[in-house]
Structure 1
Amino acid sequence: MGVINIEDVQPGMVLAADLRTTQGRLLLPLGSPITSEHLRIARIWGITEADVQGVSEADAERDALSRLDPEVRKLLDALSGWRFSCCDLSLAPVRQLMRLFMQRAARGATRGKAADLVARYRGPRIPPDVLKAPLPAEKPTCADILKKELGLASLPTIFNEIVEAVKSPKSSAAHIAEVIGKDPSIASRLLRLVNSAFYGFQSQIDTLSRAVAIVGTIQITNLAMGIAVTTSFKGIPEEHLDLRAFWEHSIAVGVMARLLASHARVPGEERLFVAGLLHDIGRLVMVRNFPDLAADAVRRAMASGKPMDDVERVVWGFSHARLGSLLMHEWKLPEGLRKAVDMHHVPFKADAEVEAALIHVADVTAHALGFGHSGSRLVPPLFAEAWKRIGLPISILPTLAAQTENQMRDLMRVFLEDHAAVA
């Protein structure tokens, strides 16, 4: 028996354990043969995996790929090779991520949908001659961009009160609820977040004060700050950045960082979710203030096959991670959040904390599995030191992928409710 992705379950397979919703509701008892109707209902309920008799995860993966049209399989092989070209394939976690990407991309893939598959996971082809173009003679400094951005940024007026509430040791649960409640939009999103698959509480939480009491004051304020920041970046033209894909990637990194922290028994799961949510905020700042230069860096990364942050250091003189951390410092966000963002591409440095390693692994995993993107479609390299530091087995990756998928749709609605694309 083995736990496999619901998309790989075939009619006629037999359950080796009860099939339940994330809220614990029994849909089908163990020993039951699975039908197409059962699978349809399971998807409606957001069930992402099932424990079935006589089929291992590896078996299911091989079967799913063997059923593909040979031309589609050939395309997936080529697409995977290109997307993982920055990665060290001698690392077992990277090989597992590539297999998981193949499995995920194969769902519903047909020869007729090949162009859509390439567009989704590779994006437009970039001619190599972009590398011949000279680099800009004058480059903006971090200070220049921060000065410009702080004039543009329109964080909700309640943001500073939330920041102060986080810092104050005297803030009570009632006071935290009162502060957040001053902004109906943030309060509404926060309640929907608490009632989503992100937490999976069995009973409805209908007031902020109850949410604070159950989740915790620091946890709630961290989440509220994350929601407040995401609402301030709107109106970026699509030709400069696919904002929906950007937030899909960022939310996925936050979810994965929180899940990894839970499995690794690292405290502060909500803090890590917010760090993951904001890990690429510097790239949004680059795009909003200097769109042409930001686009040039993306094109150079795609054409050269080099990691995005390496190319940024050449084009800009600094990376989006450093810029984002400096902006978070100006916003007076907690130091732990800022440092995790600053070092998520260099988690091997001596002064990097385990939180940076968790964000790094979550970032690579989200890129690898195709949960949105933040410009370049290439999967950034995974540092073996970071994987070793979080101390988790490779077998955690399929579970991480399934749990993230289960939470993503709810969270996309919470954070992108103003975007018509999220229906």
Structure 2
Amino acid sequence: MSTQNALLTILVEKINNDTLVLPTLPAIALKVRRAADDPNINLNKMADVIGQDPSLSARMIKISNSAYLGREIKVTSTNQAVTRIGLAQVKNIATALAMEQLFVSKNEIVKKYMAQKWTDIINIVGNAMAVLAVYQKKNNDKKLSFDTMTLAALVADIGALPVLTEAERHDSVFANPTFLDVAINRLAGRIGGSIMREWKFNDVFIECAEHWRNPQYVKSEVSYIDFVRVGGALANLIDNPDDILTSAGSRGVFDDIDELQNAEFQDLRDNAKALFM
């Protein structure tokens, strides 16, 4: 049995036996989510929790000053950032900003793949957020929020992490990038759903992580998974991207493909990506 096939067999067995080691949510994200679920939490207390991580605090200030929140007056403190973003949104935004901590490895080869995977995810996020902005502008539909959209796109490919971690024990498979892509395409959805359940995330995130690569999984109404899927198609990170875009257009995610190629869309996408760079 080839190393590649052996690894695939190991992964499938571990998934079936529920023994695959899943990544844990970054500690600061866990603290923020617990605090947000506390009925007695207030803006000052939340700012104190976020302030425990200087990097997260700085990035929260950055996002509060971003084009997506559309404010001209700049904030300079964590308290101001939390006030501007709002308690309801801080939970998802802080989790999203902490996600990059998971895409690390001490192995130089794996580290390279992790970095590429993070870049791919940011491309999906940027596209998905920009498409949502176009959709909301045309439909005046506020049921879908940018903070949920951001996190849903960021966790969509979380199932790739255990595949890469397991592959780290078999260095030779990294000589065949195509195999890793096949393994991720076949298994990441199932693994991603398990991770979201382990983290106790709600159905929106489970759904995106588990089914975004599967074009046969379609909901009756336009939902977050549509935007994640279009984000992946625009970044050429999903099979049959043209078919995905045609389907999304017919569902009303956008009116014309040209809307996703003009300068305004590119600015929206680049502004979204800049939040994570």
Same fold (TM over 0.5): yes
* Structure 1 residues 363 and 227, CA gap change in structure 2 (3 angstroms): same
Whether the 8 Å contact between 2:128 and 2:227 is mirrored in structure 1 is yes
Cα separation, 2, equivalents of 1:389 and 1:143: 35
User: Which structure's residues are more often helix, by fraction?
Assistant: 2
Deviations along 1:325-371, one digit per CA (max 9) or x if unpaired, are 2112212233322222211112442558621111000111123xxxx
* Runs of at least 5 residues in structure 2 that lack an aligned partner in the other structure: 137-142
Q: Which residue of 1 aligns with 2:261?
A: 398
Cα separation, 2, equivalents of 1:164 and 1:294: 39
* Structure 1 residues 286 and 165, CA gap change in structure 2 (3 angstroms): same
- Provide the aligned length of Structure 1 versus Structure 2: 259
Which is further off, 135-144 or 214-223? 135-144
Cα separation, 2, equivalents of 1:217 and 1:339: 24
Cα separation, 1, equivalents of 2:20 and 2:166: 10
| Letter of the 2:82 counterpart | V
* Structure 1 residues 148 and 261, CA gap change in structure 2 (3 angstroms): same
Q: Which residue of 1 aligns with 2:160?
A: 283
Q: Which residue of 2 aligns with 1:187?
A: 57
Which is further off, 220-229 or 194-203? 194-203
Whether the 8 Å contact between 2:4 and 2:179 is mirrored in structure 1 is no
| Letter of the 2:59 counterpart | R
* Structure 1 residues 396 and 236, CA gap change in structure 2 (3 angstroms): farther
What root-mean-square deviation, in Å, do the aligned CA atoms of Structure 1 and Structure 2 show? 3.3
Q: Which residue of 1 aligns with 2:140?
A: none
- TM-score relative to the length of structure 1: 0.53
* Structure 1 residues 299 and 161, CA gap change in structure 2 (3 angstroms): same
SS class of match (1:231): helix
Give every structure 1 segment of 4 or more consecutive aligned residues whose post-TM-superposition deviation is greater than 6 Å. none
Superposed, which structure 2 residues align to 1:84-95 within 5 Å?
none
* Runs of at least 5 residues in structure 1 that lack an aligned partner in the other structure: 1-131, 302-307, 368-372, 414-423
| Letter of the 1:283 counterpart | A
Please state how far the C-alpha of 1:269 moved relative to its aligned partner: 1.2
Cα separation, 1, equivalents of 2:15 and 2:272: 35
1:362 equivalent to 2:244? Answer: no
SS class of match (1:176): helix
Superposed, which structure 2 residues align to 1:220-259 within 5 Å?
220-235=90-105, 237-240=107-110, 241-259=112-130
Q: Which has the higher contact order (CA 8 A, sep 6+)?
A: 2
Superposed, which structure 2 residues align to 1:3-402 within 5 Å?
135-136=5-6, 138-140=9-11, 141-142=14-15, 147-150=20-23, 153=24, 155-235=25-105, 237-240=107-110, 241-265=112-136, 266-291=143-168, 292=170, 295=174, 298-300=177-179, 308=181, 311-312=182-183, 318-350=186-218, 354-367=223-236, 380=241, 382-383=243-244, 384-393=246-255, 394-399=257-262, 400-402=265-267
- TM-score relative to the length of structure 2: 0.77
Identity across matched positions, percent: 20
Q: Which residue of 1 aligns with 2:139?
A: none
| Letter of the 1:396 counterpart | E
Which is further off, 357-366 or 244-253? 244-253
Cα separation, 1, equivalents of 2:249 and 2:19: 33
